[in-house]
Amino acid sequence: MPLEAPKRIEPESLADYLEVITKAAFQSGISWRVIEAKWAGFREAFSGFDPEVVSRLTPDDVDRLATDTRIVRNRKKIEATIDNAVELLALEREHGSFVVWLRSHGGFLETVAALRRHFRFVGAMGAYYFLYVVGEEVPPHEEGMALLSGKDAAR
């Protein structure tokens, strides 16, 4: 049975972007069904993905989250979520809007490369997922995967 495409959203705040980036990061290397089953717990554990709140999480908070059974307890990905919140806020401040930054790269492959450079645990597939879900223009899936698998396509 073919997989359904993920649901697209119209982001209303940076929290929406952080949530999708976090889902992309946690799905990397893990069954998407596991992540989906725990997603309500992720929202609770990460304060609705409010980047201001998440960016201020401390090492003690990371220790707490690393034992929280509501989420996948991968310390490196928990730390990446915090770092990604910090990066989202920095890009927003620097460019006046995260969307302005997101759309400033010229094309799909350039945007994927920028996402991979700026956000932890976001690879080529995660970047495609992120862009698709937040409603940015992406090539059809098979074409996008072919582009991303090209030599040095998204580095």
Domain for residue 2, yes or no?
no
The confidence score (pLDDT) of residue 155 equals: 45
Domain for residue 7, yes or no?
no
Q: What is the mean pLDDT of residues 132-142?
A: 95
Domain for residue 62, yes or no?
yes
Task: Cite the DSSP H helix spans in the chain.
Answer: 14-27, 32-45, 51-55, 59-65, 75-95, 98-102, 108-118, 124-133, 141-149
- Evaluated on CA atoms 61, 63, 68, 73, the torsion sign reads positive
What is the four-CA torsion angle of 149, 6, 86, 99, rounded to 10 degrees? 90
Domain for residue 9, yes or no?
no
- Residue 143 half-sphere exposure, CB side, CA atoms within 13 Å? 6
- Evaluated on CA atoms 53, 55, 56, 58, the torsion sign reads positive
Domain for residue 155, yes or no?
no
Domain for residue 141, yes or no?
yes
Domain for residue 118, yes or no?
yes
The confidence score (pLDDT) of residue 150 equals: 81
The confidence score (pLDDT) of residue 4 equals: 80
CB atoms within 10 A of CB 150: 9
Residues 76/121, Cβ–Cβ less than 8 Å: yes
Task: Using a pLDDT cut of 90, give the percent of the chain over it.
Answer: 87
Structural domain boundaries enclosing 47? 14-149
For 34, residues 6+ apart whose C-beta sits below 8 A from its C-beta are 72
For 77, residues 6+ apart whose C-beta sits below 8 A from its C-beta are 25, 26, 121
pLDDT in tens, 74-121: 999 999 999 999 999 999 999 999 999 999 999 999 999 999 999 999
How many angstroms separate the CA atoms of 21 and 116, rounded? 11
Domain for residue 8, yes or no?
no
CATH number for the domain that contains residue 115:
1.10.340.30
User: What pTM was estimated for this model as a whole?
Assistant: 0.93
Domain tally for the chain? Answer: 1
With H, G, I as helix, E, B as strand and everything else as coil, classify residue 84.
helix
